[in-house]
Chain A
């Protein structure tokens, strides 16, 4: 049986832990708001981009001059997976969910005899995937030092990917990230970005169908300028959604931890009080029986 002093120490340490988790929860809540704002601010751009893209594709009408980034190489032998996770842990199942989705995908591809290459964005996904698929990981993008996610970060990743594509490094590229539905629900998602998945990202054309566009320069040229940019935008959006999702997951994980710590403190306090009372009673009995013996 633990002594009173031991119990006191344990209560103190659980209280300290609770303070930390509480603080982390509040930090996550503040960061979540910022991340959500950033994600919302980025939305108009990707929406307009989608609309413009739809317009142009319509104008070209699937002509032969669409760039390879859009039509693909015509094969699907080599797959590139971009796995975006958080840089830090302590956010519940957030990272492992994304990693699990990626791992299932990899297993399926390998079973089909495809070749798989991986780019890890974020430390946690790298740590998980490294165990099984270290030889397939081409690169690891570290965003630990990045305070606020900028478009430049996403652009740098996109540039690497496009460079690799142009060198014939892969045929199909899929992006793994966590879609931010709400604070308590993030959905791990796989999205094919090269070749641009038909129907997945292209909303309806907005020009009502009858406006005839003039293009400066040629539509094909605009398109070849647009597609790489669109990839960067997709990655940027994934990173922002991830950032918001991470904070949401962290907030609920830390909320749980705080509550668990509270339960534990209650339990320990009851044990502590009982033991103290038992000791007092025991001492009283000893004194009284001593006095009676006289």
Chain B
């Protein structure tokens, strides 16, 4: 059994998770990464996606996060999410609204840089939607 470490998932409204876990999969801005105990210190932004937590008890939990960043230290990992929901509580309408907003952002973008950023965000959202809600 792998060594456990402390993982915290925090959204501005509340502390969602704070417990000992074996591993966490984080949707990092430059690719997914699995964090285990004694990980080298890394700070990364995250993109919209699913965080999978494997608790010390062997249970698996999944949360949907929309952007934020993670602070990883050998002793623990803190994920500051802009908004986070348990996979079971995800609201289709809310997701659809976010996608709609992202589409508008992409359409309104003034220069190429912000447009490509908005489009990237949009594609991340649609990928997420596809992964979560099989049609």
Contacts and interface: CB of A to CB of B under 8 A. Distances in A.
A45 B80 contact: yes
Contacts of B29: 216-217
A225 B41 contact: no
A212 B42 CA distance: 8
Interface stretch (B6-14, B52-60, B118-126, B127-135): B6-14
Contacts of A236: 12
Contacts of B71: 48, 51-52, 55
Interface string B29-61: 110000000001111110000000000000000
A215 B42 contact: yes
Report whether over half of chain A's contact residues are helix, strand or loop; otherwise say mixed.
helix
A151 B83 contact: yes
B23 to A, nearest CB: 18
A213 B12 contact: no
Nearest to A212: B41
B13 A225 contact: no
Report whether over half of chain B's contact residues are helix, strand or loop; otherwise say mixed.
strand
Given A151-B82, A207-B73, A229-B82, A52 B43 contact: yes
Contact of A214 (B11, B15, B40): B40
Given A48-B80, A52-B80, A212-B41, A42 B13 contact: yes
B28 interface: yes
B7 to A, nearest CB: 13
Contact of A41 (B15, B41, B69, B82): B15
Interface residues of B, number: 24
Nearest to B44: A216
Interface in A34-49: 38, 41-42, 44-46, 48-49
Contacts of B69: 52, 222, 225-226
A268 B101 CA distance: 62
Contact of B13 (A51, A150, A222): A150
Contact of A216 (B11, B30, B73, B82): B30
A211 interface: yes
Interface in A44-87: 44-46, 48-49, 51-52, 55-56
A232 B10 CA distance: 15
Nearest to B42: A214
A45 B12 CA distance: 5
A120 interface: no
Contacts of B14: 41-42
A223 to B, nearest CB: 10
Contacts of A151: 11-13, 82-83
A217 B45 contact: yes
Nearest to A46: B12
B20 interface: no
A134 B121 CA distance: 40
B78 A211 contact: no
A47 to B, nearest CB: 9
A213 B80 contact: no
A156 B13 CA distance: 15
Given A44-B10, A52-B69, A151-B13, A214 B80 contact: no
A233 interface: yes
Contacts of B12: 42, 45-46, 151, 154, 232-233, 236
Contacts of A219: 43
Nearest to B31: A216
11 contacts: A42-B13, A45-B11, A52-B78, A151-B12, A154-B12, A211-B41, A211-B73, A216-B43, A225-B69, A226-B69, A233-B12
Given A216-B45, A217-B29, 5 more contacts: A55-B71, A150-B13, A216-B44, A217-B30, A225-B69
